[in-house]
Structure 1
Amino acid sequence: MIELDDIDRAILRALSEEAGLSASVLGKRVGLSQPAAWRRVQRLEEAGVLAGTRLDLDLAKLGFGVTVFLGVKLGTKGRVSLADFERAVSAIPEVQTVEHVLGLYDYRLRVTARDIADFERVLRRRIMTLPGVGNVDANVMLSEERLSGPL
């Protein structure tokens, strides 16, 4: 585990708000020179604290108006490995996230579709045909509030 100081935390805060900041702008925001800011960012990347940048797309504006969270319980754990299920479900482009969870279900999936009919197609033709799928529970997302910023 890397030791973080106040400047490191300020860098993380600034990058979590705007990941594409240049080292020059970042340095000005946290009170460092451009080279010092760049070295700090490199150190955070090498330590694995910063694991790349992420682009947030507005899915609704791209025509994907429905997001559904699926709880998936595998029905035949002995016959199919978790890795087989994970590999197969990760190949479905509409599946945005795959989370192996503890509780009522084995997996939680975030599925994005153009509309309910498109989601039904993905569910019937792709997800329900995956190896080992038993029970599936769906929750349609009505709205999403994002809490931005570092931990």
Structure 2
Amino acid sequence: MLLDDADRRILRQLLAEPGLATADLAERAGVTAATCWRRLERLRESGILMGEQMLIDWRALGWEVEVSLRFTLDKTDPRAFDEFLDAAREVPEVLEIQTFLGRTDVRLNVIARDMAHWQEIYRHRILTLPHIAEVDALMLVSTIKDSGSLPL
């Protein structure tokens, strides 16, 4: 689907303020409410807009530590990936799981309340995951840019 200027204005406004009512979104994007509604429907049907989601600031809830773990798996077992991923999904503190081609096979994004909690998670939940050949931990110090926006 090709986007025109009106579509890009609508998307920019949605990225800036996702909770806008359609009428407000239309006004900010410079189109009528009916046009905005039709374009939103077309963007949904084409798969460009995949839904709405609420973001929860887990730091505001007392989770202070974020660690990105990169794993190389022992792939001598053909079920290594599936078994590792199934086990990782069961760790409640794992927020994100990504797989890669290259030296790193899997990346987990993990949160903890504090360093003592992190040590408990790491020793009892992470290091017990199956088929780990190597693990590398990167502790988040600060986030400089975290943007879901696109150059529209």
Deviation at 1:131, TM superposition (A): 2.2
Q: What is the distance in 2 between the residues matched to 1:62 and 1:77?
A: 41
Question: Structure 2 regions of 5+ residues with no counterpart?
Answer: none
SS of equivalent to 2:34: helix
5 Å matches for 1:48-63?
A: 48-63=47-62
TM normalised by structure 1 equals 0.89
C-alpha contact 2:73 2:134 (8 A) present in aligned 1: yes
Deviation at 1:18, TM superposition (A): 1.2
Q: What corresponds to 2:110 in structure 1?
A: 111
Distance 1:102 1:18, change over 3 A: same
Q: 1:91-116: per-residue Cα shift (whole Å, max 9, x none)?
A: 22211111112332111111111011
Question: Structure 1 regions of 5+ residues with no counterpart?
Answer: none
SS of equivalent to 2:98: strand
RMSD: 1.6
5 Å matches for 1:120-139?
A: 120-139=119-138
Which range moved further: 83-92 or 109-118?
83-92
Q: What is the distance in 2 between the residues matched to 1:116 and 1:77?
A: 34
C-alpha contact 2:88 2:94 (8 A) present in aligned 1: yes
Q: 1:76-95: per-residue Cα shift (whole Å, max 9, x none)?
A: 44242423322321222211
How many residue pairs are counted as aligned between the two chains? 150
5 Å matches for 1:46-125?
A: 46-125=45-124
TM normalised by structure 2 equals 0.89
SS of equivalent to 2:118: helix
